[in-house]
Structure 1
């Protein structure tokens, strides 16, 4: 099996190289955000460390990675080889994903260069795959976050802390995922440790009273949890120092990145996750029928559940009415798919955003059922809780913001059937072929290239 997956991994890398060559052959000038990133990287390559474009809002991790490749491996600092920086991290993605999947599946990790088929498929997730060929921070950021989570899962907490610092050099809000790495590792450890005092029952049968009992029991394990937290505390302290020094989280262009309270962003995320990840949702043990039956039962299985669904719907309606944000970038930039989704769907009629509320709830329940089946209550809750501070403050509807949350969510689904992984791979490939073809070969005069 391992030799077969090594061959598949080489095929994966070979296809990525071929796609990168085509990107470089067709898109010969920096595009979209690249005109900001590329000159900054070139300045660093020349040793101009004090140069900084004030329009750049993310830390310099991407440029530092390119300078490292330039100095150590003699990479030239030109557009093609700068893009190769991100493609190399795309090569690393299945290797680290294979370990994260095995952590959740509670199985031994695979040989180093023999990632599982599921890891290879998940590495072609459309957002990661597309931005693996442009000089963007998305894939390096994702890989650094996943490395942090895997190191924490292996109880290598000081390594996880170091990798967490590296991840924050790509994106500031990765500090949230550093906390996730710590929490996920400790909850898994406590789950299989006899005699611990934390109340953390299986998620599928848990209720609100169990959550309250979990909170009440947390102080009993606090002393046990503090020693492994030390490296993560260092990361938090350094991050706090950065925020004080910078006068806020955002670098550079703060005017267009003002934190907001964008509650519907959570609904967009769960809808996006389901539209792209439906094979993982539907292709578990029992198939689509079992998932659908459980979702209906959770929403309408009793008078109490029906009442809860109605109350939740009213609450969601209020949040949509009060906190929907029509971001000027979303309304003005017609080179993104979200521009057309917003204009032609959400702005079709004032009632349209509210019509999706039952769908949002059904999607959320479907993911809960798929993830909770093999996890404890707190294991299932920790990711949604930490998604809140990453998505709520972001005013712009942008699929790239969903990349890390989606991958972390998808890796928690441990029983996708082989046919489901195959369907998932076909679905991702279809999206990738379509979006890449449109981007490369369907440029429109006066508009430009369409992209995520």
Structure 2
């Protein structure tokens, strides 16, 4: 069982910062259900961390999990995605990782068919390929393992989540829809543009956290340009692997830009509430951006892609983890020793993580996070910052501590094959967040500044809704600016 992280000043500041997250902080002072809804989902997540720390959760904990799931749905129906898809998905992965198959050496293969049979066999036993995000490759091992061990997965972890899902389905059938109340203005509609808007939202509120990564890029460019100037004509050409990596990155970037442009062209939805309610900041964001001129919405597409790239790069962290779950048919240099397997009598391996870790999250965790975020946003026609609260919190919890780089240290972000430097830093602890505290304090200051500004505008800048003839509307009630 993985020990709980030691409570440090860095963790305390991180917790304070999550509590100061401006959208959540602002609505904590108003009569909105979002703070309570968020609290219940986080309680469910904390309970999940307890569950994956045991070999088999007791029945009483299953009932507690079920109660938290139902309570989360009572606050907000879209919480089904976080308590079932996200937390349930993480528990599926954990159940697979506790199967503990006997390790074997990777044999030599005569053909591709033998290779496929071997890896499907290993995956079916639970010997999956789930590296950290910094070593991510396309994976199918978790799906194979889950299907081949479905009774174990369902018996150990999933039945309470399945009951919550069944209760949600029954509610939708009884209610005639997901939404309680005004169903006519909250009809589920495919709205993929939400998956573009979320990344600038993250980038704006978490701007201080990107400083180490931006500095890494600047330092890398500087070091490469300096080395090119000093390089002799007879110097060896750059490694082919690095060139291939650059080509793939460029192709992925261009593909993402094309997808963003297509979404903007065919799936930009402007909800009537967005244009009708000038109390919300989203009204002004839309009014002075994508509604300003037809071409602006297309011009913003590169910004969406860059912000998404920054958010995903931040999750990679600064360390490459050579962990237990490396079992890929694409690995060209297999480990000389079999990976260590938890003992049969152990209580389990807590694979879930928090910001306390400096290693990036597992690939499966990131895929489940992206799937959950997509499902929770893609059917909402209305763009509301409140809808981004839970995605931001879980992204923030997954974010590894990335220290501020220095010119004397080669950049970790861009280095392909820099395992030596990373292993040295890992040994002396220099990349474990030792100089990460200033970044966290800067995040604190940024949140305090944003909160102070929004509260000042809310309190000191009231206004009234007036008709074209100057008469008061909404019975003369005072209106105030808000998220």
Q: Shared fold (TM-score greater than 0.5)?
A: yes
Q: Which runs of 5+ in 1 are unaligned?
A: 1-102
Q: CA deviation at 1:110?
A: 4.9
Q: How does 1:1-40 map to 2 (within 5 A)?
A: none
- Give the counterpart of 1:249 among 162, 178, 188: 178
1:250–1:257: 8 Å Cα contact kept in structure 2? Answer: yes
Cα distance, 1:380–1:306 mapped onto 2, change above 3 Å: same
Equivalent in 446, 460, 471 of residue 427 of structure 1: 446
1:316 to 246, 250, 260: 260
Rounded to whole Å, the distance in 2 between the matches of 1:294 and 1:235 is 48
Task: Give TM-score, length-normalised by structure 1.
Answer: 0.70
Q: Among residues 358, 364, 367, which one is paired with 1:381 in the alignment?
A: 367
Distance (Å, rounded) in 2 between the aligned partners of 1:294 and 1:408: 29
CA deviations on 1:34-92 (whole Å, 9 max, x unpaired) are: xxxxxxxxxxxxxxxxxxxxxxxxxxxxxxxxxxxxxxxxxxxxxxxxxxxxxxxxxxx
Deviations 1:168-195 (A, max 9, x none): 1100010111121222244356558743
- Deviation, 1:206, is 2.1
Larger C-alpha radius of gyration, 1 or 2?
2
> Stretches of 4+ moved more than 3 A in 1?
105-111, 185-196, 212-218, 291-295, 297-301
Tell me the equivalent position of 1:63: none
Map 1:113-124 → 2, pairs under 5 A: 116-124=12-20
Are 2:316 and 2:400, in contact at CA under 8 Å, matched by a contact in 1? no
Give 1:131 shift: 0.4
CA displacement at 1:301 relative to structure 2: 5.4
Name the CA distance, whole Å, in 2 between partners of 1:230 and 1:109: 32
- Aligned-partner Cα distance in 1 for 2:205–2:171: 36
Of the three residues 67, 77, 100, the one matched with 1:162 is 67
- Alignment partners' CA distance in 1, 2:457 and 2:244: 42
Matching residue within 461, 465, 469 for 1:446: 465
The separation in 1 between residues aligned to 2:251 and 2:302, in whole angstroms, is 13
Task: Report the Cα offset of residue 306 of structure 1.
Answer: 1.6
C-alpha spacing 1:106/1:334, structure 2 compared with 1 (3 Å): farther
2:274/2:282 contact within 8 Å kept: yes
Match of 2:188 among 223, 247, 259: 259
**Is 2:134 the counterpart of 1:148?**
no
Contact 2:91 2:158 in 1 (8 A): no
Separation in 2 of the partners of 1:386 and 1:415?
Answer: 23
- Pick from 88, 95, 100 the counterpart of residue 182 of structure 1: 88
> 1:147–1:160: 8 Å Cα contact kept in structure 2?
no
Offset at 1:353? 1.4
Q: Greater RCO between the two (CA within 8 Å, min separation 6)?
A: 2
Equivalent pair of 2:195/2:378 in contact (CA under 8 Å): yes
Q: What displacement does 1:438 show?
A: 0.4
Q: 1:121, 1:424 within 8 Å by CA — same for their partners in 2? A: yes
Offset of residue 236 of structure 1: 1.0
Distance 2:63 2:134 in 1: 33
Q: 1:398 aligns with which of 368, 384, 394?
A: 384
CA contact (8 A) 2:264 2:298 kept: yes
TM-score by structure 2 length? Answer: 0.65
SS state of the match for residue 179, structure 2?
coil
Aligned-partner Cα distance in 1 for 2:3–2:368 = 18
Residues 279 and 482 of structure 2 are in contact (CA less than 8 Å); yes or no, is this contact kept in structure 1?
yes
Structure 1 residue 138 displacement after superposition? 0.7
* TM-aligned CA distance change 1:304 to 1:118, over 3 Å: closer
SS of structure 2 residue aligned to 1:258: coil
* Distance change in 2, residues 1:298/1:413 (3 Å): farther
CA 318–293 in structure 1, closer or farther in 2 if over 3 Å, else same: farther
Say if 2:265 is the partner of 1:279.
no
Measured at CA, do residues 328 and 377 of structure 1 come closer, stay the same or move farther in structure 2, by a change above 3 Å? same
| Alignment RMSD | 2.9
Q: Tell me, what secondary structure is at the counterpart of 2:206?
A: helix
Give deviations 1:277-312, integer Å, cap 9, x for gaps: 1223334xxx532267899x9999523332232222
1:413 pairs with 2:319: no
Counterparts of 1:273 and 1:300, CA distance in 2: 30
> 2: CA distance between counterparts of 1:367 and 1:275?
11
Q: CA 1:410 to 1:193, structure 2 compared with 1: closer, same or farther past 3 Å?
A: farther
Write out per-residue CA displacement over residues 356-395 of structure 1, whole angstroms, 9 at most, x where no aligned residue. Answer: 2222222222222222442221111111111111100111
